[in-house]
Copies of this chain bind each other. A is one copy, B any other.
């Protein structure tokens, strides 16, 4: 086969956007397109806080890759990437004896938790990262609650104290879901509601750092009204098996610590020899790794500077999707001899859900709150299903 080989690593927002775009734009005889992903499914990362809290069946956050790829145009390999060898233009896979050759590589391998050096975090905290992880969070919380009546009274409080580290988007969305789930857990396990504590701890001087103050206040008031305790300006110093130690020495006992405090790039990118900052690669205007015209990096492992404030755009689904679209255009241009188009991020808006009954955020320049915001957020979820799987998938997964 003499066709140029395009290999896409990861079926996240960026990777799937690339794949579905390529299979739409390219003819069968233009390139050999391969997708590698460790699971046979894509999961909707922006919804993971819901199955983590137990308010959504994890299947609603999952899309089988076989349902969205066109097998005549894309080859899917379910495997784990173990090494990117840019000098030989190969990718090593855990389950394959031969490495996978590429002419063009698109890396969309997502992120890893950023622990900021907090002792014990990787060992003792949970992370909202993938379907297996969030199912475990949900089961872990339920298991703690189920033991409430069977342990000594002095041990009960920590079983039903849940600490969420980080009050960024994921943290806020997760506590929003969880605080809606708690009354149900209390009924199910005969635990008085007032015994359960949900504490959101944030090192920055505000919840949702960098976000509009009016919206932040709305979120905080809403969630405090439901019983969430916020501790801002409060770095966690250590995460232990049975809770956390805050800066200054205060200890909070808790059987469940979920860390949402930040992400860094995937270590495979770092290990490949590409220059990174906290695992993320400052890509060129075409989203390529500096000095590597054949490697595009999209999603959480890429770093794009917002020229307005000279700070990196935060890693979001929205930017990953737009990056995927850009890579598709540019790969088609390369194959067909056209000219490439620089990547420019268009922020359409930002919406954070606050559990099953409210949300808030900015759409265009307008602030929105409450049920309308929630409906918009859910429509936006449906839009993603529509993009990758058409109307059928959008209908199947849509839940208001």
Contact = CB atoms under 8 A, between A and B. Distances in A.
A116 interface: no
A132 interface: yes
Interface in A115-136: 131-133, 135-136
A140 interface: yes
A190 B40 CA distance: 11
Contact of A142 (B131, B132, B139, B145): B139
A302 to B, nearest CB: 27
A143 B139 contact: yes
Interface residues of A, number: 20
Contacts of A189: 132, 135
A188 interface: yes
A168 B149 CA distance: 28
A146 to B, nearest CB: 4
A262 interface: no
Contacts of A138: 146
A136 B188 CA distance: 12
Contacts of A131: 190
A58 interface: yes
A27 to B, nearest CB: 35
A136 to B, nearest CB: 4
A136 B147 contact: yes
Interface string A126-166: 00000111011011101101111110000000000000000
Contact of A149 (B58, B132, B140, B142): B132
Oligomer copy total: 2
A189 B132 CA distance: 7
Q: Is the interface of A mostly helix, strand, loop or mixed?
A: helix
Contacts of A150: 132-133, 136
Contact of A146 (B136, B145, B147, B148): B136
A148 B142 CA distance: 17
Nearest to A40: B190
A145 B189 CA distance: 21
Contacts of A135: 146, 188-189
Nearest to A136: B146
B149 A188 contact: no
A188 B58 contact: yes
Nearest to A41: B190
A194 B149 CA distance: 35
A145 B146 CA distance: 16
A133 B148 CA distance: 10
Interface in A334-380: none
A139 B146 contact: yes
A132 B156 CA distance: 14
A146 B137 CA distance: 9
Interface in A4-45: none
Contacts of A145: 139
A226 to B, nearest CB: 24
26 contacts: A58-B188, A131-B190, A132-B146, A132-B148, A132-B149, A132-B150, A132-B189, A132-B190, A133-B150, A135-B146, A135-B188, A135-B189, A136-B146, A136-B147, A136-B150, A138-B146, A139-B139, A139-B142, A139-B143, A139-B145, A139-B146, A140-B143, A140-B146, A142-B142, A142-B143, A143-B143
Q: Identify the 5 closest CB pairs spanning chains A and B, nearest first.
A: A139-B146, A132-B149, A139-B143, A136-B146, A143-B143
